[in-house]
Homo-oligomer: A and B are copies of this chain.
Amino acid sequence: MTAEIIIIGDEILIGQVVDTNSADIARELDRIGISVNQILAIQDEKSDILRALKDAATRADVVVMSGGLGPTKDDVTKYTLCQFFDDIVVNNEEVLKHVEELFKKIKNTPLSDLNREQALVPSKATVLFNKYGTAPGLWMEQDKTVFIAVPGVPFEMKMMMEQQIIPKLKREFNRPFIYHKTLRTFGLGESALAERLEEWENNLPEKIKLAYLPNLGSVRLRLSGKGENEKELKEGIEKELTKLYPLIEDILSDNINEDDDITVTLNKLLISKKQFLSSAESCTGGEVAAQFTINPGASSCFKGGLVTYATHSKEELLKVPKKIIEEHSVVSGEVAEAMASNARDLFKSNYAISTTGNAGPKKGESDEEVGTVFIGIATPEKVFSKKYKFGKSREQVVKKTVNKAFELLLRELIKK
């Protein structure tokens, strides 16, 4: 079974908004064995949408469209579907009632004609009820292709996919089995890794594909297989893994849950060891804490963090001795180590991460060149720091510093 995704919205095509919906939709479909062959983003134009629908119908079993279902003039998805299916819109009482209630309860504003129009749906469509907004989703079928329209608001789309569309697809269609296994490696670039794995990769069975997913200092290896026989497929991949492990033993990060984001892995490890983390950040400005705490488990393994942007707050709040700052400058290994160990003590945590550096674009209160960063790690037994040069882009420096800090912490945690 194959799918195509059509994203509708001018804001995507002028680059004002990054489309995250297609990745979310693709991930959900992929998980149930429906391969997404293409993602297309087009304007809110009837003619463009019609062309995309016609093209997709010749190739895909499932077409998911996102966007253009709102109440304003530039929302044309519903009426374009009517044209494509030679259909008319009819009023849906259930949707109307829901829209009325939503406006009464949450928005506390009277219902307008534009809002009332949200209850008009193509007569041939199965309505996908939208608990969280006014635009209903639509499910329509033609010549064995299913066309599904979901709202462009990410949260409404996600809930509709999870709660209605995925279960309905699973109920109504036979799908092949898809199995992914992802391993995270550190310290070797994509090409060096590819070279090391060349012979093994050349001998992979046809049903199993390997992908390299490089991302700032780490390369994830994704093995994926697709087939009818779940057992055979899983065994095939496990067999390849036993050949792969010895080849990458020295650069493999962990084998806990390699599909997880590194912060999820850290969360799980800390909780399982009943340990707590804290942070003291300068150049990363809170990004270490923010990325770490987005995981629901964070309250069981994160005590808190300090963002000491101004030098005096390093001294006064984090109690980094003025003397160390004066002797070694604020961007130094000594300061990073003092920050990490003081954060660990202040927050009463077991581990601490610290960052200090010049993220640029201008040099700060230190002589180190832009892009120089020191990361400090405090563990129950020791404190150390490492120096890095992460280039001249501010965003890149922050990203790379955060990733590297998590990697350093992970290496400490898996030692035990």
Given contacts A290-B286, A307-B305, A309-B304, contact A37 B13 (CB under 8 A): yes
A134 — which chain B residues lie within 8 A by C-beta? 191
Q: Is the CB of A26 within 8 A of B38?
A: no
A39 — which chain B residues lie within 8 A by C-beta? 7, 12-13, 40-41
Q: Is the CB of B310 within 8 A of A71?
A: no
Q: How far is the CA of A191 from the CA of B48 in the complex (A)?
A: 24
Q: How far is the CA of A293 from the CA of B289 in the complex (A)?
A: 13
A398 — which chain B residues lie within 8 A by C-beta? 294
Task: Decide yes or no whether A298 CB sits under 8 A from chain B.
Answer: yes
Task: Decide yes or no whether A83 CB sits under 8 A from chain B.
Answer: no
Closest residue of B by beta carbon distance from A393: B155
The stretch among A166-174, A206-214, A264-272 that forms the contact with chain B is: A206-214
Task: Decide yes or no whether A19 CB sits under 8 A from chain B.
Answer: yes
Closest residue of B by beta carbon distance from A43: B37
Q: How far is the CA of A284 from the CA of B30 in the complex (A)?
A: 31
A313 — which chain B residues lie within 8 A by C-beta? 303-304, 347
The stretch among A107-115, A333-341, A406-414 that forms the contact with chain B is: A107-115
Q: How far is the CA of A11 from the CA of B397 in the complex (A)?
A: 24
How does the 8 Å CB contact mask read for A208-251 relative to B, with 1 for contact and 0 for none?
A: 01111111000000101000000000000000000000000000
The A287-328 residues at the B interface (CB cut-off 8 A) are 287-290, 292-294, 296, 298-299, 302-310, 312-313, 316-317
Q: Is the CB of A114 within 8 A of B194?
A: yes
Task: Decide yes or no whether A153 CB sits under 8 A from chain B.
Answer: yes
Given contacts A303-B309, A347-B310, contact A394 B294 (CB under 8 A): yes
Task: Decide yes or no whether A94 CB sits under 8 A from chain B.
Answer: no
- Measured as residues with beta carbon below 8 angstroms from the partner, the interface class of chain A is 35 or more
Q: Which of A25, A39, A348 has the most CB of B within 10 A?
A: A39
Q: Is the CB of A155 within 8 A of B192?
A: no
Q: Is the CB of A307 within 8 A of B304?
A: yes
A18 — which chain B residues lie within 8 A by C-beta? 18-20, 23
Q: Is the CB of A296 within 8 A of B23?
A: no
Q: Is the CB of B307 within 8 A of A109?
A: no
Task: Decide yes or no whether A97 CB sits under 8 A from chain B.
Answer: no
Task: Decide yes or no whether A100 CB sits under 8 A from chain B.
Answer: no
Q: How far is the CA of A12 from the CA of B216 in the complex (A)?
A: 17
Q: How far is the CA of A371 from the CA of B213 in the complex (A)?
A: 35
What are some 13 contacts across the A-B interface (CB < 8 A)?
A12-B26, A13-B37, A14-B27, A15-B29, A19-B22, A72-B194, A112-B191, A113-B195, A132-B391, A289-B309, A298-B309, A307-B307, A317-B346
Which 3 interchain pairs have the tightest Cβ spacing? A285-B293, A15-B27, A286-B289
